[in-house]
A and B are shown apart, each in its own frame.
Chain A
Amino acid sequence: KQEVTQIPAALSVPEGENLVLNCSFTDSAIYNLQWFRQDPGKGLTSLLLIQSSQREQTSGRLNASLDKSSGRSTLYIAASQPGDSATYLCAVPPNFGNEKLTFGTGTRLTIIP
C-alpha cells in the first residue's frame, strides 16, 4: 500500500527566503506526482505535475523535482512571499490506469512579512 509522507508538517520562514518542501513515497512504481496548494477552507489548486520520466518541472518561482528510485520529491519555492502561505500537498497515483490518488500529510507554510 502506497504511503506518502511530507516533512516538515509546518514551516514558518521570513519573506524573501528560498525554501524546500519534502515529499516521500514508499512505492516507487508511480506514473506521476502532483503538487497542490490549499488555502484554508478552500479547494486544491494544482501547482505542478511531474511525469515519472521527468526529473523536474518549473512554473514561475516554483520548481519540483522527482527521484523515483529514492521515493522522493521536493518543491522549491524561490523568493517566498506572504501570498505563498498555504498548505502544500503532494499526491501520487500508484500506477497507470488506477484512478486513486494517495495524498501526503501536507506541509502548512507560513511566510512572515
Chain B
Amino acid sequence: GEDVEQSLFLSVREGDSSVINCTYTDSSSTYLYWYKQEPGAGLQLLTYIFSNMDMKQDQRLTVLLNKKDKHLSLRIADTQTGDSAIYFCADPPDGYNAGNMLTFGGGTRLMVKP
C-alpha cells in the first residue's frame, strides 16, 4: 500500500528558514497536503499542491513537488516560535476520490528556538 515518510525532528532558530521533507510512493496522487498539529490540538490544513504543479507559494510557505523523485517539501520562511508544531504531509492514494482516505506521514516535529 501507499507509504508516506518524513523525518522525525527539525530544530531551527527563530528567523531562519525551515524545510520539512516528505517522500511518498503513490505515483497517481492528484493533490498532496501539508497539515499542522499544535500541542493538544487537531490537524489544521496548511496548504496543498496539485500534482501538475512544481511549486506553490502561500505567504511564508513554499511547497515544492518533485514528481519524478516523489518528494514533497514545505519551506517556512522567517520561522517564528509560533510555528513550533508537528507537520504532516498527506496523500490520497490512487488519485483522488472524495471518499478516499488520506495517508499521513509520521509527522515532523519542528522546534523553533528563540
- The answer to whether A binds B is no
Q: A: which residues have CB within 8 A of B? A: none
